[in-house]
Amino acid sequence: MHALLNLRGSIPEFILIIDGKYHDSNALDMIIPQPGAIYLMDMAYLDHEALFRINQAGAFFVTRAKSSLRCEIVEQNFNMDRDTGLSTDRTIMLVVPRSRKLYPEKLRLVEFYDNQNDELIVFLTNSFELTPLEVANLYKNCWQIEVFKWIKQNLVINTDS
């Protein structure tokens, strides 16, 4: 089950129920990005072509970057309060030819150290207007979707018509 949740009211705007053989990132193909919207998603949805469609629609995304991400640093912001947990704010370009072809524009990489879980979290976004801390805080809203994780794990949902 994939859900698009409007954080203004915590109301699902889109729910897609499919079998487990369908890759998570393919669910992005079913969504028409709305200009100005911010899409928050786990790294399982990382698909450069779909993310570029979101960008081209005038919408924004925040997702976790995969550890295999290969990029070149175009610019780095050194003006941030490290006491907040932020460690890096960089403008990047993808370097793997296929990835760069699918997403040919600049991206932003924000690193945040989560003290509670003793974990460095690396975010990927196309928003250059948000502060690095806003990027990290927005991603925390993804956990509201954990209600849907409970539904998936505890209710029997049949995908057959």
Check residue 41 and give its pLDDT.
Answer: 81
Count other Cβ atoms within 10 Å, centred on residue 63: 22
Task: Note the pLDDT of residue 83.
Answer: 82
Question: Does 159 map to a domain?
Answer: no
Question: Does any domain span residue 97?
Answer: yes
Give the torsion sign (CA, 125, 129, 133, 137).
negative
Please indicate, yes or no, if residue 113 is contained in any of the structural domains: yes
> Would you say residue 160 lies in a domain?
no
- Residue 106, C-beta contacts closer than 8 angstroms, at least 6 positions apart: 74, 91, 92, 93, 128
The predicted structure's pLDDT at residue 25: 55
pTM tops 0.85: no
> Is 161 within the bounds of a domain?
no
Per the structure, the complete domain to which residue 76 belongs is given by: 2-154
Say how many domains are in the chain.
1
Percent of the chain with pLDDT over 90: 42
In a domain, 53, yes or no: yes
Does residue 12 lie in a domain region? yes
Cβ count near 8 (within 10 Å): 6
